[in-house]
Amino acid sequence: MSNNNDTVSETSKTTIDKAIENAHAVFQEYKQVKTAERILFLQNIAAEINAIKPLLIEVTQRETYLPTARLEGELLRTTNQINLFANLLQEGSWVKAVIDIKQDPPSDIRQMQIPLGVVAVFGASNFPYAFSVAGGDTIAALAAGCPVVYKSNPAHPQTSVMVAACIKKAAEKTGIPQHVFSIVYGASHQVGLHLVMHPLITAVAFTGSFNGGKALYDAAAKRKTPIPVYAEMGSVNPIFVLPEIMQQQATVVAEKIIASNLQGVGQFCTNPGLVILTEYAGTDNFVEASAALISKTNAGSMLTENIHQAYSSGVKKLAEKETLHLAAQGLSTVAPQAAVPHLFVTDAANFLTDENLQEEVFGPSSIFIKAADKAALFNIVNHLHGQLTATVWGTDNDLAEYATLIQLLEEKAGRLIINNVPTGVEVTAAMVHGGPFPATTYSGATSVGTGSIYRFTRPVCYQGFPQFLLPGALKNENPLKIWRLVNGSPSTENI
């Protein structure tokens, strides 16, 4: 539930159907909109959001308990990523134009990306801007040329209403078809499932829990025409601290890892929930330094009562396990929906025999695992489920000695980090925010960065086409002046 009384009525199935049908009706028109007009549309979305910034942040803070500084930073990230996609469209090579022409025997084969159709986007609770109404999923789909029907997250209903109005206003100002974006509301699972099962939906983007994402994935697979579901479902984001750095910098590294675990009351999908240590001199100092930091940390307010209840239940289950030692817990407060930080410790043998220790406890808790030697550490890696991130802390000597660790982690995570923390996902062309199942339902995609646009496109091959029928990106004279792969070589020249 929201943290205020400004709730929004649940959208009826009839209204959802109408929104999808209207979006489908304008798809052909929207996919043909000139690039310059689509760029202007995106830029205006960012501008409209900035125009209501003070009031928007006030409303969101009331709904989520998130501090003003955090919301200001996230809002900046959101508008920056909108403009990043506008720049991607301007540069143009994202369409991956490929042209192969042969004289003997004669052939003319060309390829480029085209939009899929109407996309269903599900907003996240923990990022009311960046993974919400005008977040990365929505903007990537709109940039690709896909209309969006957005399912609002009930954690911040009025925030969603306000940002949706910005998108509608931007469309009106730039002459974009009005039904290119619609928003639907509902706390029940039925709203989401009805959206996914509609035959005119061509792809789904979701950020949230494993149970929620897997339910949508299973439903989409049972459709008469199955569709891709790009569900980002979180992970425990393991951190490995190697021996030499632990001996030399135990306190410094502990401070950084614990700060990452506590950031935002632990409500990040990249929150480090597992810390794996090889038992050498300094291991106990590292655990003690981490425990000391936890023990003096106050509980913080979580986003919703449901999230708080899930965290409390998860921590209670961990505390009841005889194989775990509670090394430290934070200080209770009277703050609403307050989550008390917890730090548990166990060994490799216990971790390897309890699959439940790999389940994400969304919030400020972590499990430290002591591995007796390198072989035990590698056994832990091989046992890990798919992750969004995996982090290694080590000196150059550590990293050289444990080079195999990096190779193993490549098979487990979408983003590998050396001597830093996983929280804080930069929005760049090189970023991968994804990973093997169960972190996501499709390891070949990212939900952050410009590469996320390819979740909502597909390649089409044009063979033997006359010039007048070809899209601009594939014409001989290259009217868009974009980079293309022509007979195996990158080029911006005419053919």
**CB atoms near residue 402 (< 10 Å):** 20
Comparing CA positions, the residue from 279, 239, 272, 271 lying closest to residue 394 is: 239
* Contact status, residue 433 vs residue 446, Cβ threshold 8 Å: yes
d(CA 56, CA 474): 43
Name, in order, each residue with C-beta under 8 angstroms of 323's C-beta and a sequence gap of 6 or more: 346, 350, 354
- Among 232, 288, 305, 426, the one annotated catalytic: 232
DSSP 140: H
**Is 269 labeled as catalytic in the residue annotation?**
yes
**Residue closest to 35 by CA, chosen among 475, 479, 494:** 479
Phi, psi of 208 (to 5 degrees): 170, -145
Distance (Å, rounded) from C-alpha 127 to C-alpha 108?
A: 47
Residues in a beta bridge with 301 = 338
Using a CB cutoff of 8 Å and minimum separation of 24, what contacts does 97-100 make? 97/473, 97/474, 97/482, 97/484, 97/485, 98/484, 98/485, 99/474, 99/484, 99/485, 99/486, 99/487, 99/495, 100/487, 100/488
- State yes or no: is 493 an active-site residue: no
Q: What are phi and psi of 77, to 5 degrees?
A: -60, -40
Give me 320's structure tokens.
């009841």
- Mind spelling out the 3-state secondary structure of 25-58? HHHHHHHCCCHHHHHHHHHHHHHHHHHCHHHHHH
Q: Describe the crossing of helices 13-31 and 189-197 by its angle, rounded to 10 degrees.
A: 40
Whole-number Å distance between alpha carbons of 229 and 344: 35
Structure token pair of residue 97: 């134009």
Q: Do 204 and 228 form a contact (C-beta atoms < 8 A)?
A: yes
As a three-state string, the secondary structure of 380-440 is: HHHHCCCEEEEEEECCHHHHHHCHHHHHHHHCCEEEEEECCCCCCCCCCCCCCCCCCCCCE
Cα(195)–Cα(253) distance, integer angstroms: 45
Closest to 31 measured CA to CA, from 86, 93, 99, 113: 113
**Of the listed 269, 279, 288, 493, which one is catalytic?**
269
Q: Can you say how many angstroms the Cα of residue 290 is from the centroid of all Cα atoms in its chain?
A: 28
Residues with a catalytic annotation lie at 232, 269
